Structure 1
Amino acid sequence: MRERVLFFDLLRCVAAIAVIAIHVLAPYRTELGGIPLDQWLTAVGVNSVSRWAVPVFILITGALMLSDTRPFDAKYYVKRRLGKVLVPFLVWSMFYAYLSGWTAQGFDFATVKEVVSNSLHHATYYHLGFFYYFIPLYFVIPLFQWMVRHMDDDALYAYLALWLFTSTLFLFKIDGPWSNQMWLYMGYLPLGYVLFKKIPLNRSATTLFTGLGLVALAVTFTMVVMNSLDAGKYTVGRWLSYKTLNVVLAASMIFMLCRYVGEGLPPKIQKVVSFISQYSLGIYLLHPIFLWPMKAFGWHQGHPIWVIPLWVILSGAGALAMSYLFSRSAKTRWLLP
């Protein structure tokens, strides 16, 4: 059990940091030709090698919930699992709809009204799009739990093979029924379970997944840069999608690496990792508040090699501190599941 706790804590930490980095570098991505090439390459490089962040959160959910052997209780599941995420999401959606009305020029209520009117189909703020495909996954988790408990491993592996094949088709823009967003995201759930419960934790397995992941990251960066330079503008095709084979391989690499090294962390680092992990979802929800000045006032001038780490630290630390303060009171604790 101790290994499991450290392992997932470490995963949540690195995923939270990577998500913040993706959001910090956003202003640089479309600046091809407008900023020095080395600056653009740095930002695009960070973007290309960190797309595994969001899928890792889904892998964690799959690993934990599909390995849960307790009998399924629908009432408990809806209230404690689904409701615990859904209600805070709705509250924060309204808060960020309000925040979207603020710019360096002041407040625009018309923007808020438009954002709220579109909220059924579009996130009220850039980071909340995650919940539009994450929350629906709760409706298929019980099906995967039944599959894990009542079917043999061959059926699970066959499903994953088919899912990986369709994620490859989607990457190369060969579309069909398999291009459905729900289908492409839900495969991460049983993949997380398999990586956690079925793949042996040894150097050979970790090396294999690391090799595949590094190749995927290198190809991703190369394709994004080449496509953009050829087009004369930032263009990524589907190489930075969360639903494609290259990102699946990168996310699997991170999962296995954290699983492999998690138990060997020094005690002091373990405490820090566990503390950050405890508030990782709060960090995800709150960090855009602390990035708002950077985006509103253009406070990202400078080389991204130092601007990105600086704002990751500032916004991450601010979100962590706010999450901790929210957790201290029963009146606000429920806002950060």
Structure 2
Amino acid sequence: MRERVLFFDLLRCVAAIAVIAIHVLAPYRTELGLIPLDQWLTAVGVNSMSRWAVPVFILITGALMLSDPRPFDAKYYLKRRLGKVLMPFLVWSMFYAYLSGWTAQGFDIETVKDVVINSPYHATYYHLGFFYYFIPLYFVIPFFQWMVRNADDSVLNAYVALWLFTSTLFLLKIDGPWSNQMWLYMGYLPLGYVLFKTVPLKRSVVTMFTGLGMVALTVTLTMVVTNSLDAGKYTVGRWLSYKTLNVILAASMIFMLCRYFGEGLSPNTQKVVSFISQYSLGIYLLHPIFLWPMKALGWYQGHPIWVIPLWVVLSGAGALAMSYLFSKSAKTRWLLP
């Protein structure tokens, strides 16, 4: 059994909370000019500062799977790695297709039919879009595992450097073959490994990553706010994409900070963090169920400075409790790996 690395628990925990926050604030984003400016700025500020959440999950996957020393076993990999994610995704896609038919006005079966028909191309619910680019990454992970075991670190570093350059081009809307979605997402895998295994955990290094990340977050917020105010409507360009240099730098900062501080948490804090981490995928999959009334019934009236934390706690706690209950039965445990 591999030794447990505690800081990954902290990473999963903060990433899960940030993802929920992004989904809670969604109704406010497009309300520029319709709600007080300070409320809109609060919501957009949280959104701009939290875009690292989803990339962090990919960094974790890359760090863990590329550092796995065990020989590659195709049968085991397809069943226990890919299948463990794919099957729950398919089941929950159908559940959320059904949920999409429910609104404050009642149930619309035609909406459900349209969502199911288009499910090969579009997620059946807003949060499931993550799996459309995450699951394909499992087909390139064996390649990166081979690279880690058979090539010098300089090769992997060169790959990451090239990927970072292309993510910068994509941010600046200089498109080309490098704008391919698969290419731009798959780079997070070796980056996760590099941040975990080859970047030294020194105060000076962590400070550098923190500085770069804070600059990236500041520029991101500034560009989103100024572009939106100039346009008179919410517009983000590519500044909030998961595939651009600014978000990559922010995600790298969070990774390094958690790596630096995560192993030093008190035992009681670590127990709480580990418990939440254990059900982080369940929290990700289930929290929209508890956000449904907020969005369908308009239960988000009020200043986002308190509405966002309130619904993060309510939906997060609900999803955590439901995940825990699912884990208690072998009949449902597989639905939330």
Same fold (TM over 0.5): yes
Other structure's SS at 1:119 match = coil
Which position in structure 2 is the counterpart of 1:123? 123
In 2, distance between residues paired with 1:57 and 1:4?
17
Counterpart CA distance in 1 for 2:288 and 2:307 is: 16
- What's the counterpart of residue 54 of structure 2? 54
Q: 1 CA distance for matches of 2:72 and 2:5?
A: 23
- Paired residue secondary structure (1:12): helix
Separation in structure 2 between the aligned mates of residue 194 and residue 24 of structure 1, nearest angstrom: 32
Give the equivalent residue in structure 2 for 1:132. Answer: 132
Flag the 1:148–1:124 CA change in 2: closer, same or farther, 3 A.
same
Asked if structure 2 preserves the Cα contact closer than 8 Å seen for 1:3 and 1:263, the reply is: no
Q: Which residue of 2 aligns with 1:221?
A: 221
CA-CA distance at 1:6 after TM superposition: 1.3
**Amino acid of the residue matched to residue 82 of structure 1?**
L
**How do 1:198-217 and structure 2 match up within 5 A?**
198-217=198-217
Structure 2 distance, partners of 1:2, 1:75, is 20
Counterpart of 2:317 in 1: which secondary structure? helix
Report the secondary structure of 1:226's partner residue: helix
- TM-score computed with the length of structure 1 as normaliser: 0.99
Are the equivalent residues in 2 in contact too, given 1:3–1:262 (CA < 8 A)? Answer: no
Change (3 A) 1:4 1:220: farther
Equivalent residue number for residue 303 of structure 1: 303
Letter paired with 2:234: Y
Query: What do the CA deviations read for 1:72-101 (whole angstroms, capped 9, x no partner)?
Result: 000000000000000000000000000000
CA deviation string 1:213-247 (max 9, x = no partner):
00000000000000000000000000000000000
Per-residue Cα deviation, 1:105-147 (whole angstroms, up to 9, x for no partner): 0000000000000000000000000000000000000000000
Deviation at 1:202, TM superposition (A): 1.3
Q: 1:91 aligns to what?
A: 91
Identity %: 89
SS in structure 2 opposite 1:291?
helix
CA deviations over 1:188-232 (Å, ceiling 9, x no partner): 000000000001111011000000000000000000000000000
Q: State the secondary structure of the residue aligned to 2:143.
A: helix
Aligned counterpart, 1:19: 19
Number of aligned pairs? 337
Residue identity matched to 1:135: I
Residue aligned with 1:44, SS: helix
Q: Which residue of 1 aligns with 2:8?
A: 8
Instruction: Tell me the equivalent position of 1:281.
Output: 281
Name the CA distance, whole Å, in 2 between partners of 1:314 and 1:150.
Answer: 47
Give the 4+ runs in structure 1 shifted more than 2 A.
1-5
State the partner residue of 2:243: 243
Q: Name the residue aligned to 2:257.
A: 257
1:196 corresponds in structure 2 to 196
Structure 2 counterpart of 1:294: 294
Aligned counterparts of 2:295 and 2:5: Cα–Cα separation in 1:
36
Q: Which ranges in structure 1 are unaligned for 5 or more consecutive residues? A: none
Displacement of 1:153: 1.0
Q: Distance in 2 between matches of 1:122 and 1:22?
A: 19
Deviation at residue 5 of structure 1 after TM alignment: 2.5
Report the counterpart of residue 158 of structure 2 in structure 1. Answer: 158
Alignment partners' CA distance in 2, 1:217 and 1:193: 23
Question: How many angstroms apart in 2 are the aligned matches of 1:85 and 1:66?
Answer: 18
Taking the aligned partners of 1:113 and 1:97, their CA distance within structure 2 comes to 8
- Residue 3 and residue 300 in structure 1: after superposition, are their counterparts in 2 closer, same or farther (change >3 A)? farther
Please state whether the residue corresponding to 1:33 is helix, strand or coil: coil
Matched letter for residue 271 of structure 1 = K
Amino acid at match of 2:231: A
**Alpha-carbon contact 1:282-1:336 (below 8 Å) kept:** yes
